[in-house]
Structure 1
Amino acid sequence: MMTARDFRFGVNLFTAGPRKAWQETARRVEDLGYDVLLVPDHLGMTAPFPALVSAAEVTTRPRLGTLVLNAGFYRPALLARDVAGVHELTDGRFELGVGTGYAAAEFEAAGLPFPGARQRIEHLEHTVTEVSRELAAAGHRVPMMIGGAGEKVLTIAARHADIVNIAGAGPLPGSGQADPLSARVGFVRRAAGERFDQLELGMFLAAVHIAGSGEPDLFVPRALYPDLSEEELLALPGVLHGSAGEVADSLRGIRETYGISYFATADRYLAPLAKVISQLR
């Protein structure tokens, strides 16, 4: 039986703003007890690498990562150079999170063709393989997270990543899975083989609501699952609501049942999840 890992908590910060405001946010993330400060990779938002280096200037404890880089925006040699630079400038606190990219409009805005799913998945595997090779050759040990929901991306994650982020934890269209989270963890276990016990499993918390703080904010899960009713959204394993103690118990249950110990959420749920973190320390 796999020994339970310690909890880790991350927050994905979608808005940076001016340097002073950004660094104040970074300090707050650290003060609230988060283990990882994360930045997404979307056009129209702050570029992740300079934002993370700036956050490193005013924090000492949290790891710094991407949730997640769009592999389609990068070529491996150039990405490896940038990752090595961020690794050095953050005193080794950087964690590289990478995915296939999914927003056709962003590829178009960047002047890039939007490949089909198979080509994007193949490029992801090529990218993570080459980046890992180049970093190892240069003597850099940078933890890698790969996020996804489908079997092909989870296979790449199981074979190459240090951290597997099981995206969504909701039902895949037409899957008929009664417990999609169990199905995905089981798939990762089979795909990883002997590597499985070395993997850290993570999931994204689409919403966190603490009882007594008004109506649940379901903005993020609605965006992820627009066809689900409010009742169905509230039943998702990545949508947590109740008292801080009840939500903490839910996370203990997820860790015990599925082996998932790394939980990240969006910045709009920064304060609610912090109340839960304090229950688990």
Structure 2
Amino acid sequence: MTLDLRIFVEPQQGATYDDQLAVAQATERLGFSAFFRSDHYLAMGDRDGLPGPTDSWITLAGLARETSTVRLGTLVSSATFRHPGVLAIQVAQVDQMSGGRVELGLGTGWFAAEHAAYGIPFPDKRFGILEEQLAVVTGLWGTPVGEKFSFSGEHYQITDSPALPKPAQSKIPVLVGGGGPRRTPALAARYGDEYNQSFPEISEIGPRIKVIEKALSDAGRDPGSIVQSVALVAAIGKDEAEFTRRAAAIGREPAELREHGIAGTVAEAVDRLKALEADGVQRVYLQVLDLADLDHLDLVAREVRPQLG
């Protein structure tokens, strides 16, 4: 199996819908398997975020109608942003609009400031909310047409839902991420089609995969039944000068990027990706921070990807 490369953007840092559309269409044209975006409402660091945030699922609905083959998803939606019943409807509808190309990444949420900025409750304890959201969303989608779905939990109560609409896919892939030692692996084993490590230390990726594989085995699942993925920043140049320019454009130091991401020259990027594959990684989300630099995607498609697998 060839290492799967996907494109991942952070629109809260400052991007219009049209900016995202251009990247999504380039992602499709260049043969990457998916376009994923973050789900945030506030810029981070010293960015002003102009012209302002775009909602992830509204954006993906638009992209669903303006692309035809590339898969679409979130890395990851915050469980604090939506009621699970509403989320199930939204994602199923976007899946229909795309002809069955949607994937759902769901997490606890972590950025307190964005919640304060838009009046969204941000409870101290959120893992139980995530657990129940996964149960409700997957339960609604999995209920046969004509039957009803009910759920009674600490955070959510669902009574006699018709569990509609249904996604176009028989099962929307669910991505679970996080670094907890016990509860997160168990959650991934119960609900996950994919387990994602977002911006981990490179040395910790292989050991974490082993933890997830054990959780799957303990739950009676084949350890190979879940896709193991990582999200890492990408800054690649055809030579050192181009790499240095790309690092400067996103406000990062070349040495730091080389340590923590898929960065440097084409040869260095290929070496890092092959090492990740040797550690058990099957899919890499390339975090592209300069959405105007479509030549960056072209370089990866032409020079990096052909050297993998």
TM-score (norm 1): 0.81
Match status 1:103 vs 2:100: no
Q: Which residue of 1 aligns with 2:134?
A: 128
Q: What is aligned with 1:174? A: none
Q: Which residue of 1 aligns with 2:100?
A: 92
- Secondary structure of 1:114 counterpart: coil
- Aligned partner (choices 198, 211, 224) of residue 167 of structure 1: 198
Match of 2:151 in 1: none
Moved over 4 A (4+): 218-222, 229-233
AA in 2 matched with 1:89: M
Aligned: 1:10 with 2:10: no
| Superposition pairs of residues 179-258 of structure 1, within 5 angstroms | 179-193=203-217, 194-210=221-237, 211-212=239-240, 213-215=242-244, 217=247, 231=255, 234-236=258-260, 239-255=261-277, 257-258=278-279
1:78 matched to 2:83: no
What SS class does the counterpart of residue 209 from structure 1 fall into?
strand
Cα 1:218–1:167, aligned 2, differ >3 Å: closer, same or farther? Answer: farther
Given residue 32 of structure 1, which amino acid in structure 2 is its aligned partner? L
Contact (CA 8 Å) 1:159, 1:191: kept in 2 or not?
A: no
CA distance in 2, matches of 1:189, 1:220: 35
- Contact 2:9–2:289 (CA under 8 A) maintained in structure 1: no
The answer to whether the Cα contact below 8 Å between 2:233 and 2:257 also exists between their aligned partners in 1 is no
1:170-221 Cα deviation digits (max 9, x unpaired): 28xxxxxxx3112211111111112421111111112333233142628879
Match of 1:54 among 52, 57, 62: 62
Over the aligned positions, Cα root-mean-square deviation in angstroms equals 2.7
The 3-state SS of whatever aligns with 2:36 is strand
Specify which structure has the higher proportion of helix.
1
Share of identical aligned residues, percent?
A: 27
1:268 to 263, 271, 289: 289
Q: Distance in 2 between matches of 1:55 and 1:27?
A: 9
Structure 1 position 275, deviation (Å): 2.2
Residue deviations 1:73-108 (CA, integer Å, cap 9, x gap) = 122111111111111111110111111100111222
Aligned AA (1:204): A
Q: CA deviation at 1:114?
A: 2.0
Tell me what 2:157 maps to: none
2:32 is aligned to: 34
* Counterpart AA for 1:208: A
- Distance in 2 between the 1:25 and 1:89 partners? 19
1: CA distance between counterparts of 2:175 and 2:248? 26
The Cα of 1:57 is off from its aligned counterpart by: 2.0
Q: How far off is 1:62 after superposition?
A: 0.5
Structure 1 residues 25 and 168, CA gap change in structure 2 (3 angstroms): closer
Q: How many residues align?
A: 259
Contact kept in structure 2, 1:206 and 1:220, CA below 8 Å: no
SS at structure 1 position matched to 2:126:
helix
Taking a change above 3 Å as real, the CA distance of residues 221 and 129 of structure 1, as seen in their structure-2 partners, is farther
* Counterparts of 1:264 and 1:219, CA distance in 2: 20
The SS at the match of 2:199 is coil
Give the Cα separation in 1 of the matches to 2:251 and 2:108: 20
Instruction: For residues 221-259 of structure 1, give each alpha carbon's deviation from its aligned partner in whole angstroms, at most 9, with x where no partner exists.
Output: 97xxxxxx97565323xx12333244123212211x222
Does the aligned pair in 1 maintain the 2:234–2:288 contact within 8 Å? no
